[in-house]
Structure 1
Amino acid sequence: MRSFAEISSSRNLLGKTLIQEPTFDRIIVVYRRASTKSKKERGIFVKHFKNIPMADMEIVLPEKKNPGLTPMDWVKFLISAVVGLVAVFSSLEMPSADWWVIFAVLSTVVGYIVKTYFTFQQNLAQYQNLITQSMYDKQLDSGKGTLLHLCDDVIQQEVKEVILSFFILMEQGKATRQDLDHWCEELIKEEFGEECDFDVDDAVNKLEKLGIVSR
């Protein structure tokens, strides 16, 4: 869980409340890029990430969308254009129109629009740098390294299942598959507080292949 403080509701504007956000401890992303007419072969990409908050899931996706101009930015542009046009037409309707005043008004409006646009571009560059840095910090591995990690996890999981089954049989003696499955699940729940569906068939088959147990 990722925790952070946030201003609470109107009943306590100056107070703070602690909010917990679900966080994925490990995420593996598998994807293929869309094929094109010139390049029809599509390789499979595998990437491994750590500590990804649910709200930040988009940063691990291959096709991240960069933010565009917000409605408020367009409102600023529109208001600036309207105010500038009104000021220009008002100046033109005067008996002696001062072209320097019109030029000054237009320069101010254009300058404000350009400033708003470049401010957006600067914020976009900062956002992209933040995403790149976050990806670098949270990516554990990719490609063959991730596949080797998965294979190692699978092997460890199967070894643990075999050891746990053998331990229960040493403690209880003879047992049916149903009883062994139940006792293994109960031990895991008692020791680790986790409920699981123990793969007793795979564990027993491996014990039989090793010659440790027999029917």
Structure 2
Amino acid sequence: MQLSFHNLIGKTLIQEPTFDRIIVVYRRASAKSKAERGIFVKHFKNIPMADMEIVLPEKKNPGLTPMDWVKFLGSAIVGLVAVVSSLEMPTADWWVIFAVVSTVIGYCAKTYFTFQANLAQYQNLITQSMYDKQLDSGKGTLLHLCDDVIQQEVKEVILSFFILMEQGKATRQDLDQWCEELIKEEFGGGM
């Protein structure tokens, strides 16, 4: 994209490559017994390539960001400096020291709980997104796959029957070649 004033203030439509359908087959890594190590199958729709990791079951939750660590460390250092400077005064006021320490602890707790709230909101967003995009799981997905295979085989039989009606006898290789040529002629693609 060119860098220009028009691109800066205008709207730009960016189309991201998306998987129309994804079937995820997995086994849980953390199962305690062999009975719990079954194979799980899930079927999803419209998953952007950049978001592929959200459909994987063993995804890791994000940790504290570098900015959160800077807030923690910055407030701890400022609090430590304030406490040390208060103790070095000839008449140390314990109420000031208590206020500084409680403020630092309160700010660190606020930063931590804000992170926890953001993490819960992120997990809720992921759960809602997966709920909306999940088509089926388990036996339903396997039945869907079996149905697709049967439909594909029926299409191949119909196409082969049509070619045999048109051409007469044929070997398996000739039949395969004629079917591919018909598909290329009619649809512009291959098998």
Structure 1 residue 108: Cα displacement:
1.9
Question: Which segment is superposed worse, 122-131 or 162-171?
Answer: 162-171
Partners in 1 of 2:117 and 2:183 — Cα distance?
A: 53
Distance 1:125 1:8, change over 3 A: farther
* Residue 166 (structure 2) aligns with: 171
TM normalised by structure 2 equals 0.84
Alpha-carbon RMSD: 2.6
Contact 1:47 1:139 in 2 (8 A): yes
Aligned residues, how many? Answer: 186
Partners in 1 of 2:164 and 2:33 — Cα distance?
A: 60
Structure 1 residue 11: Cα displacement:
8.7
Distance 1:189 1:80, change over 3 A: farther
**Which residue of 132, 145, 151 corresponds with 2:146?**
151
Question: Which segment is superposed worse, 173-182 or 42-51?
Answer: 173-182
Moved over 6 A (4+): 7-11
Structure 1 residue 23: Cα displacement:
0.9
Contact 1:164 1:184 in 2 (8 A): yes
Structure 1 residue 88: Cα displacement:
1.3
Distance 1:37 1:106, change over 3 A: closer
Structure 1, residues 11-34: CA drift from partner, whole Å, max 9, x if none? 943334322211111111111223
Structure 1, residues 136-192: CA drift from partner, whole Å, max 9, x if none? 111111111111111110000001011112223334445554443333224334444
Distance 1:127 1:10, change over 3 A: farther
Partners in 2 of 1:72 and 1:9 — Cα distance?
A: 31
Identity of aligned pairs, percent? 91
More strand by share: 1
Query: Secondary structure of the equivalent of 2:73?
Result: helix
Structure 1 residue 93: Cα displacement:
1.7
Distance 1:154 1:64, change over 3 A: same
- Structure 1: runs of 5+ lacking an equivalent: 1-6, 193-215
Distance 1:38 1:154, change over 3 A: closer
